[in-house]
Amino acid sequence: MTSTTKRDFYEVLGIERNASPQEIKKAYRKLAVKFHPDKNPGNASAEASFKEAAEAYSVLSDEDKRATYDRFGHEGLRGGPQVNADIFREFSDIFGGGGGGIFEDIFGDFFGGGGRRRPQRGADLRYDLEITFDEAVKGTESRILVPRNELCDSCEGSGARKGTHKTTCTACAGHGQVRYQQGFLVVARPCGECRGTGHFIESPCATCSGTGHVVKEGELPLKIPAGVDNGSRIRVRGQGEAGPSGIAGDLYVVLTVTPHEMFRRDGEDILLELPITFPQAALGAELDVPTIHGTESVDIPAGTQTGTRIRIRGKGVPRLDGGGNGEQIVFVSVVTPTKLTKDQRALIEQLAEITKPPKLGDRGAGKEKSFFEKLFG
């Protein structure tokens, strides 16, 4: 009696053990295309490789199963993983173009699908929303008007005029698919008579012209969390367009953040350039500095140079994971006056007489890099 040892799932997919979900998906897609039975009719080796790749993907694409497998190997899966039919449906566009492709027909009977089409989900929608810098940092609540396809009230989404009914397509018996034998496979394709709908409408609804949908503008509340950034997406489930069966897609709100006149953002940190006078830089000072969260008192040490950075902890952008705030980084800039009064000029001339000129390479307090250090790192 011989025993067969299963290959390591990472080896099956040809990936590293620290592979990302995207890398796992890409590797499986490549193998599914290569070894699919429809491309290798009668090839038992290809069929075995196809099933092996599917089994590996069903484990490694599931976060919990993958963690169990990484810790305990095949023994930890308690008799082997249950391959999910959705794995094959996910890639049905490779061969079938959606709407009942080959993957679903091969595995439908095994997983209770019986080759029937799943309810078609509505399309996802995108909505572009502009918010202010303050709203992005602190979060806000808004209401948006979204135009979208919704089920027609007049015909309740059937597409047929009230008092009439759809006529079932006789070519596909209302399934929207026709099935035929291809080798050892039973293959289904969208019905050419009804174009995959499974029915005909003889008296279309006047309101929606037989589509079953009308465009409506709906007002939706939207909560924008603190810490979002330019290009962030907020997913609102079930607020996309309604599908033929009434199942709606999702709405994706894409944020554009308007620039602030004073602050700039670097990840979770907020940057501010603070101009100070020469006396403040030379003698030191205590200044009130604006932050996005209010005014903060900051000490300017005596001898501060242009380019000195002062960090104010906790006054940056809130982290989306709830792990506190970033910092506000203040870049000090010593301002040289361009116009002097008579008294100011006299004082500066007096200071010049008693001040020893700096030597080449001397950087004062030593906090600012030299020109060559900035240039060459």
273 and 230 housed in the same domain: no
Q: Tell whether the model's pLDDT for residue 331 goes beyond 90.
A: yes
Q: Give tens-digit pLDDT for 355-371.
A: 877 776 665 544 555 54
Query: What domain range is 297 assigned to?
Result: 264-363
For the chain, the average pLDDT equals 81
Count up the domains in the chain and report the number.
3
* 129/67 same-domain check: no
Whether the per-residue pLDDT at 245 is higher than 70: the answer is no
The confidence band for 195, taking pLDDT boundaries of 50, 70 and 90, is confident
Question: 259-286: per-residue pLDDT in tens?
Answer: 999 999 999 999 999 999 999 999 999 9
Q: Are residues 345 and 275 in the same domain?
A: yes
**217 and 140 within one domain:** yes
354 and 300 share one domain: yes
Query: Nearest CA to 146 among 122, 125, 124?
Result: 125
In the block, tokens 């918010």 appear at 131
Instruction: Provide mean pLDDT across the span 318-326.
Output: 90
* CATH number of 78's domain: 1.10.287.110
For residue 140, tell me if it sits in a domain: yes
Q: Which helix (H) or strand (E) holds 310?
A: strand 309-318
Written as six digits, the tokens of 308 are 């000195």
Does 34 fall in a domain?
A: yes
Which amino acid would we find at residue 318? P
Residue after which a domain boundary falls, among 83, 115, 134: 83
Q: At what angle do helices 63-72 and 44-60 cross, to 10 degrees?
A: 100
Q: Is residue 195 a part of any domain in this protein? A: no
In a domain, 111, yes or no: no
Does 224 share its domain with 307? no
Listed residues 240, 257, 274: the one ending a domain = 257
Residue-wise DSSP of 106-165: HHTTTTT-TTPPPPPPPPPEEEEEEE-HHHHHH-EEEEEEEEEEEE-TTTTTS-BPTT--
Beta partners for residue 331, in sequence order: 273, 309
Residue 253 lies in a domain: yes
Mean pLDDT of 9-24: 91
What pLDDT is recorded for position 81? Answer: 44
Q: What pLDDT, in 10s, does the model give residues 48-73? A: 898 898 888 988 988 888 888 887 77
The whole-model pTM stands at 0.54
Query: Based on the domain organization, do 244 and 133 belong to the same domain?
Result: yes
Residue 92 binned pLDDT confidence (cut-offs 50, 70, 90): very low
Identify the pLDDT of residue 80: 44
95 or 290: whose pLDDT is higher?
290
For residues 73 and 152, state if they share a domain: no
* Structure confidence at residue 167 (pLDDT): 86
Do 148 and 245 lie in a common domain? yes
Report the CATH number that the domain containing residue 140 is assigned in CATH.
2.60.260.20
Read off the pLDDT of each residue in 77-96 and give the average, rounded to a whole number.
46
Residues 310 and 285 in one domain: yes
Kindly state whether residues 141 and 42 are assigned to the same domain. Answer: no
Domain assignment of residue 51, yes or no = yes
Residues 152 and 216 occupy one common structural domain:
yes
CB-based contact 283:266 (threshold 8 Å)? no
Question: Does some domain include residue 175?
Answer: no
pLDDT given at position 118:
60
> Is 115 a member of any domain?
no
Answer yes or no: is pLDDT of 112 > 80.
no
Of 29, 61, 83, the last residue of a domain is: 83
Evaluate if residue 111 carries a pLDDT over 50.
no
Write the pLDDT tens digit of every residue in 127-174. Answer: 999 999 999 999 999 999 988 878 888 887 788 888 888 888 888 888
